[in-house]
Amino acid sequence: MPKQHPVQDEILAAFGDGKPKSHREVVKLTGFTKSSIWRALHDYWKAGLLLRNEQPILEAARFFGGRAGIKRNTRVYYLYIKKPEREETVQIGGQKFVGYSKKYLDRRGARTKSKSRLVMEFLKQNRDRAMYSTEIASALKSRGIKPCDVMTTARRYERKGMVYVRGYRTHDRQTPFKQGYLLTWVDQKKLRDKAIREAVERTDGALAGNASAGPAIERIRVFRDQVLAMTQLKDLASFAYVQQGMSCSEREAEYAIKRALQLYPDIKEIKLFNNYCYFYHESMSKADLNATTKLKENYIRMTKGRDNRIGHNWEACVEWFVDKFTTGAHFWTQRHRTAGMDSRRITLHLLRGVGDRKRSAEVDRVWEITPGVFAKPIVYVLECKWGLVHKQDVDEFFDVLRWSKDFGCDTENGRAIKQGVVGVFAGGGFDPKEKAYLKDGVVDLPTYAARMNIQLLKATDFNEKLRGRGCKMTIQKICRAAGDEADVKWALDSTWEDSRKADDVINKLIEKNKDLYEFEKTLETTK
């Protein structure tokens, strides 16, 4: 029998008690370095002096990382025992210890290349393309690569400037596409600016190539094309213009534009009068942008006046009926900084932003009714909107109420509207196709609003009141004919007193505001 080396004797002596030991335990017992023990254990296992457990042990480890604090990782290690004579396998403590065989080799040691090298070589070989992380993982699946391995490598080499990673961009972060992040190689031999520009162009091409993947992606592509075309004409693209080009609903257009702005940071949005959205490409010169913006502002001042006028007239109609038919009510009042603003319009302070309303929101009326001597008062909150009302409008009104300091409260299930508070939403009409998908089924918009304790009022409800007085005039006619809220209240007061005056009232309004109509018509035809 060949003579053993003293180091070998000392290492094998550490296993004299017959208990399984890990690499670290042998280091402590012998005092040798970690690397020498690591190599020796593998060699002795291969030489048939030791047995090793068949499956590695995974252990959650915590260690102090200095200024970085406590760090955590998963420790993977094996246990070894001294090989008994005439036995090739041993069972100890639920662990099976086996002799050396290629099938028991650690997969990490069996690979000739690391996972990160495989991913980077694949990206380098396909340097003329941009690919999704899932696409790369699928191509390298046979080599043991998973999507998490791809992104771990991509993030590491992104910090080194060798890989460009692209996803949906929001204000302060980036999220993956449906197929994962887009990855492409950054050529180190080219000038940095040129290499990055080419990388972005490759990702643009990959996104454009996916245009047929679904209608949402198709709308994003159409939106970008429209904005680029309008920029070449030194003009801004309005929301209505791009929506028409996308041939979709308002909500679908809003979603497509939101995603497009995340995907393409070179597309810019500008809000005129903090309300009207326009879009342009960053290639537009500052002088052209300023000139075009002034033209759009002048156009909005003139053409949007009709929409604002009818919207305010609708609010006046609703308020007139509320004042007329609400008996025994106490209306809330509030002093405003803006001169001429109705004191019965109430500004609510919000604990959290709702839509475009960040810290506050206005409602048209708030009134209280006390049903009985000992009953608690019921508070009604009115919100008006001219035109077709969608589920999103009702949801935002509900959120305004529950996140307001006055009408919201905290419950076990989150924020809710206080008991005794009823929301009233008055709209020109409610979308009959709008559906709400709830846990117990699909319901229409009025049913959905009723479940949230919100009453819906339509223009037809007020027209029935007028017909009850024998008047054939409609609320819609009054809103379109009246020049301002004073005209609305005068028309309703006159008609309510004598329904036979309805036609005469409308004719007087038309004659009075004839110049206003002509001016609005001229502006619309010269758009």
Q: Where in the chain is the domain with CATH 3.40.1350?
A: 307-520
Reading the block at residue 179, the tokens are 């197929």
Contact (Cβ atoms closer than 8 angstroms) between residue 130 and residue 167 = no
Distance of CA 308 to the CA centre of its chain: 30
Q: Does domain 115-209 have CATH number 1.10.3470?
A: no
Domain made up of 307-520: CATH architecture? 3-Layer(aba) Sandwich (3.40)
**Rounded-to-integer distance, Cα 414 and Cα 260, Å:** 33
- Could you report how far apart the first and last alpha carbons of the chain are, in Å? 104
CA quadruple 256, 260, 261, 266: dihedral positive or negative? negative
Q: How does DSSP assign 216-280, residue by residue? A: HHHHHHHHHHHHHHHHHTT-PEEHHHHHHHHTS-HHHHHHHHHHHHHH-TTEEEEEETTTEEEEE
Amino acid at residue number 175: T
pTM confidence score: 0.46
Q: Which fold has domain 212-284?
A: Arc Repressor Mutant, subunit A (1.10.10)
pLDDT in tens, the chain (527 residues): 444 566 788 888 888 888 899 988 999 988 898 888 888 888 888 888 899 988 888 888 777 766 666 777 778 888 999 888 888 888 888 889 898 888 777 655 554 578 888 999 999 999 999 999 999 999 998 888 888 899 999 999 998 889 999 887 655 667 888 888 999 999 998 898 898 889 988 988 887 766 445 677 778 888 988 898 889 888 899 888 888 888 887 788 888 898 888 888 889 999 886 667 899 999 999 999 999 888 887 777 665 667 777 888 888 888 888 888 887 778 899 887 766 677 888 899 999 888 877 788 888 889 998 887 778 889 999 998 887 888 888 899 999 999 999 999 998 888 899 999 999 998 888 877 888 888 778 888 888 888 888 888 888 888 898 888 888 888 888 988 888 888 889 999 998 888 888 888 888 888 888 877 776 665 454 44
Contact (Cβ atoms closer than 8 angstroms) between residue 220 and residue 228 = no
CATH for 6-110, options being 1.10.260.40, 1.10.10.10, 3.60.15.10, 3.40.50.720: 1.10.10.10
> Tell me, what DSSP letter sits at residue 138?
H
Q: Where in the chain is the domain with CATH 1.10.10.10?
A: 6-110, 212-284
Exposed / middle / buried, residue 326 (Cβ in 10 Å: 0-12, 13-18, 19+): middle
* Strand ranges, E, within 2-56: 21-22, 50-53
Nearest residue to 276 (alpha-carbon basis) of 312, 303, 246: 303
Task: Kindly report the number of other CB atoms within 10 A of residue 255's CB atom.
Answer: 15
Strand 378-389 versus strand 421-430 pairing type: parallel
Contact (Cβ atoms closer than 8 angstroms) between residue 65 and residue 44 = no
Distance of CA 6 to the CA centre of its chain: 67
CA quadruple 206, 211, 214, 219: dihedral positive or negative? positive
